[in-house]
């Protein structure tokens, strides 16, 4: 394929990751096991263009420097309240936990915000590169919980969930957005603000179209956003060497 490495070599060298901080974040994350998690190590370590690796490459420097993370988050999402206190990868608040979504979904990356009032906010990120919106069907046994979270959030237009409960190319986006919304509804009250963001290349027609169609189903867009890789890099808040490495790997010259 031209973008695949032999797994043992990739693990030993960390060649998939464009900065030492990204490699450190990947090694730290894979050394910690969240309950019920499943990690595709081949895709993470040995595919130079995989979306999981891109998440670490985009945000690894920020996990290493929370002051930089705070500047970046407020540059990319100016309305985000509070101060960044943590950067997480392949993160779920609780897999198979019925107080959240009772699912195995997680976020590619997540920025935790300390709001200074005893509550926290989160920017939850889905990162896509050469992916497309694959059709999927939400787990039928989770349908009552999915619909409960959707109804309580008041986020969706009337009739929107009728389009999302069956086989749909918007399945993953809906379920990950619902995971964030379930955090805001958790009885513990820990999470008081949230934003779910899809990060993707500007010329990814499938993802651009899918996000446009998903947005059309929303009555309240305050918890959903998109950001292109090019916009993210164009903000110039990341370190210059990191920006150069990311552009070389992920933004082809015209």
- pLDDT for the residue 252: 80
Residue 171 lies in a domain: yes
pLDDT interval class at 1 (50, 70, 90)? low
Residue 127 lies in a domain: yes
**What tens digit of pLDDT does each residue of 61-115 get?**
999 999 999 999 999 999 999 999 999 999 999 999 999 999 999 999 999 999 9
**What tens digit of pLDDT does each residue of 14-59 get?**
999 999 999 999 999 999 888 888 888 899 999 999 999 999 999 9
- Average pLDDT taken over every residue of the chain: 95
Q: Is 73 left (phi over 0), alpha (psi -120 to 50) or beta?
A: alpha
As a whole number of angstroms, the distance between CA 25 and CA 46 comes to 16
Residue 134 lies in a domain: yes
Q: Is 206 exposed, middle or buried (0-12, 13-18, 19+ CB in 10 A)?
A: middle
Cα angle 250, 25, 226 (rounded to 5 degrees) comes to 45
**What tens digit of pLDDT does each residue of 186-239 get?**
999 999 999 999 999 999 999 999 999 999 999 999 999 999 999 999 998 999
- pLDDT for the residue 3: 87
- pLDDT for the residue 169: 95
Task: Please say if the pLDDT value at position 122 is more than 90.
Answer: yes
- pLDDT for the residue 134: 86
Residue 179 lies in a domain: yes
Residue 195 lies in a domain: yes
Helix (H, G, I), strand (E, B) or coil at 210: helix
Provide the token pair at 45.
Answer: 């370590």
Beta-carbon contacts of residue 81 (< 8 Å; ≥ 6 apart): 113, 115, 121, 193
Report the domain count for the chain: 1
- pLDDT for the residue 236: 86
- pLDDT for the residue 2: 75
For the entire predicted model, the pTM comes to: 0.95
CB 52 within 8 A of CB 90: yes
- pLDDT for the residue 210: 95
Q: Is 200 exposed, middle or buried (0-12, 13-18, 19+ CB in 10 A)?
A: buried
Residue 4 lies in a domain: no
Q: Which one, of 51, 59, 50, lies nearest residue 24 by Cα? A: 59
Q: Which domain holds residue 84?
A: 66-241
Residue 48 lies in a domain: no
């Amino acid at each position: 394929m031209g973008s695949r490495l032999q797994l043992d070599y990739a693990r030993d060298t960390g060649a998939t990751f464009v900065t030492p901080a990204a490699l450190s974040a990947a090694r730290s994350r894979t050394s910690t096991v969240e309950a019920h998690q499943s990690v595709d190590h081949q895709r993470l370590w040995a595919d130079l263009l995989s979306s999981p690796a891109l998440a670490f490459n985009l945000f690894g420097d920020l996990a290493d420097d929370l002051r930089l993370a705070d500047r970046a988050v407020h540059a990319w999402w100016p309305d985000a309240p509070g101060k960044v206190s943590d950067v997480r990868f392949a993160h779920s608040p609780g897999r198979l936990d019925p107080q959240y979504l009772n699912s195995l979904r997680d976020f590619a990356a997540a920025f935790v915000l300390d709001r200074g009032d005893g509550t926290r906010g989160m920017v939850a990120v889905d990162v896509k590169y050469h992916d497309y919106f694959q059709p999927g069907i939400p787990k039928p046994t989770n349908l009552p919980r999915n619909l409960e979270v959707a109804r309580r959030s008041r986020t969706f237009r009337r009739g929107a969930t009728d389009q999302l409960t069956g086989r749909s190319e918007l399945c993953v986006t809906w379920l990950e957005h619902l995971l964030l919304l379930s955090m805001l509804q958790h009885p513990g009250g820990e999470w008081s603000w949230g934003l779910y963001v899809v990060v993707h290349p500007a010329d990814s027609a499938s993802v651009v179209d899918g996000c446009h169609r998903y947005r059309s189903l929303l009555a309240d867009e305050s918890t959903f956003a998109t950001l292109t890789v090019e916009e993210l890099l164009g903000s110039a808040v990341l370190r210059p060497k990191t920006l150069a490495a990311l552009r070389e790997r992920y933004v082809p010259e015209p």
